[in-house]
Amino acid sequence: MSSPVADRRPAGATGWDESRQRDRGAYRKPHALYAALDLGTNNCRLLVARPAHTHALVGAEALRVVDAFSRIVRLGEGLTQTGYLGEPAIRRTLDALEVCRDKMERRGVARARLIATEACRAAANGAEFVARVAERTGLQLEIVDRETEARLAAIGCGSLADPEAKGVLLFDIGGGSTEVVWLKPGLGRDAARRDLEVWTSIDMGVVSLAERFGGREVDHATFEAMVEAFGRALAPFVDKAMRQRACTRFHLLGTSGTVTTVAGIHLDLPRYDRRRVDGLWMSADEADRAVERLRAMSYDQRAANGCIGHERADLVLAGCAILEGIRRAFPAPRLRIADRGLREGMLLELMRADGVFSARAQ
């Protein structure tokens, strides 16, 4: 497995084809559009937005979403066994990226950042894939390192942190890795801060864990084996975080398909509804019950559920095992759910770098 590719671009750097960028003076226009693309191990997701009109808003609330796209591509399928991105996965991903390119062109996006995460970091042919994307679609993907991924997640989700909490543990359960961040006090109020106090990135995600242990039929022993494997990998971070920031008043803040699914199950949603999930508070008991309901479902029942679907039915229990590993290591009375993350972090960082918010405030 290759070492992660360092992200050496300055904050606010773009990964879109430079010839497509609009005149920099257009960025400050109130209707200028920005785009952020997050290509992960499992999903390809695009968000197009402009700054909201009210400058007092912070975090994702400062964005007015114009267009969005999400498709499960499983780019990292089989990566843990072979060390390479497979051709079927590459073709699926290229098709999705063409859709993203067309959306950005139709919308007249002025500025964009396009990132690739764990699958491209870990694959021996990750750089070759990025070159192929540029040739086929004109999109220039930027393979970011794990610290950048953690920082962008913190920027994107930080405004959901309880400002009264003495500590907030943010986690992002991805397809190939899981980022865990102990947020600095006040970070939720100041989403532009780039420094992380204590953080880690663990090379286990829903795809890699499900491929290792199985995801269709998960009995109690298998589930506990997944929790234990993740817990061992998390242990060094637990020692560091609790030694430096042990406190009695804190909460968990989770972002990913796993936690939004848990929230959807908790709410008994017939189909997923972001408006009801993003920002939801769940008690520890409520999270326990929702996970137990998921674990009690058969594969077919998970596939038929409107908050899961057949594309994620074999991955969601691996995600629940990671969630359980985090909750056992950091017992907390409350969990807040975020349906926001890397894309919102990229958009906010781009807009702040362009002075959009300060310009509106004048």
Q: Write out pLDDT tens, residues 309-318.
A: 999 999 999 9
**Same-domain status, 199 and 139:** no
Q: Kindly indicate the confidence band of residue 167, based on its pLDDT and cuts at 50, 70 and 90.
A: confident
Q: Is residue 153 part of a domain?
A: no
Element (H, E) at 210: helix 206-213
Work out how many domains the chain is built from and give that number.
2
* pLDDT number for residue 16: 54
Sequence-distant (6+) residues with CB within 8 A of 104 are 16, 20, 35, 46, 48, 112
**Same-domain status, 109 and 237:** no
**Same-domain status, 91 and 137:** yes
**Same-domain status, 68 and 214:** no
For residues 97-121, give the mean pLDDT: 97
- Residue pair 36/47 in contact (Cβ under 8 Å)? The answer is yes
**Same-domain status, 101 and 219:** no
- CA–CA gap between residue 327 and residue 157 (Å, rounded): 19
* pLDDT number for residue 105: 97
Phi, psi of 338 (to 5 degrees): -120, 120
Q: Is the pLDDT of residue 290 over 70?
A: yes
Kindly report the number of other CB atoms within 10 A of residue 361's CB atom. 9
- CA–CA gap between residue 91 and residue 300 (Å, rounded): 27
**Same-domain status, 294 and 267:** yes
Question: pLDDT averaged over the chain?
Answer: 87
**Same-domain status, 196 and 311:** yes
For residues 252-261, give the mean pLDDT: 96
* pLDDT number for residue 115: 98
Q: Is residue 194 part of a domain?
A: yes
**Same-domain status, 134 and 209:** no
The CATH number that applies at residue 47 is: 3.30.420.40
For residues 278-291, give the mean pLDDT: 98
**Same-domain status, 114 and 63:** yes
| pLDDT, tens digit (0-9, with 9 covering 90-100), for 169-210 | 999 999 999 999 988 665 544 444 435 678 999 999 999 999
The fraction of the chain above a pLDDT of 90, given in percent, is 74
The pTM (predicted TM-score) of the whole model is: 0.87
**Same-domain status, 177 and 282:** yes
* pLDDT number for residue 245: 61
Question: Which residue(s) pair with 49 in the sheet?
Answer: 34, 65
Q: Residue 313: which domain range? A: 159-342
The CATH number that applies at residue 214 is: 3.30.420.150
